[in-house]
Homo-oligomer: A and B are copies of this chain.
Amino acid sequence: MGVIRKTKTVEVLLNEFNKRAVAISAKNLIKQFQTSFNKTTIYRVLDKLEEDGVLHSFLGKDGLKWYAKCKGCSASEHNDLHPHFQCLNCGKVDCLSESVKLPEIPNRKIKVSQLLIQGTCDTCYL
């Protein structure tokens, strides 16, 4: 379970998430590191980092998988219930710190929820 060995791929990817504060899509990472790492490896490392509670994942605009650093998650518990904002212009995704109040749903048991807000970000906002 989780990341066991400290490999080059893990080091480089983690560094990337630490450097940038925003979420990054698997697609972007693959493009960025295509000369260094195979896409299969990147997918697998991201999986592991998520299992480990280091990253959390969610689906963005076109069903693409995005990852961002977790704050206060562990391998046993993922509490990534914050919403995400994706800019329809530049594609950038931010984690929002505000929590969402889920509607009341009778007779159903909620396991996870995902709120994706789309619009224009501060940089692209004219």
Q: Is the CB of B108 within 8 A of A119?
A: yes
Evaluate contact between B110 and A113: CB separation under 8 angstroms: no
Number of copies of this kind of chain in the complex: 2
Tell me what chain A mostly uses at the interface: helix, strand, loop, or mixed: loop
| Interface bin, chain A | 35 or more
Most B C-beta atoms less than 10 A away, residue of A59, A103, A120? A103
Stretch of A13-21, A46-54, A93-101 that contacts chain B? A93-101
How far, in whole Å, are A102 and B110 apart by their CA atoms in the complex?
19
Q: List the B side residues contacting A65 at CB < 8 Å.
A: 63
Q: How far is the CA of A81 from the CA of B110 in the complex (A)?
A: 19
Bound together, the chains give a CA A110 to CA B113 distance in angstroms of 19
Chain B residues whose CB sits within 8 angstroms of the CB of A62 once the complex forms: 63
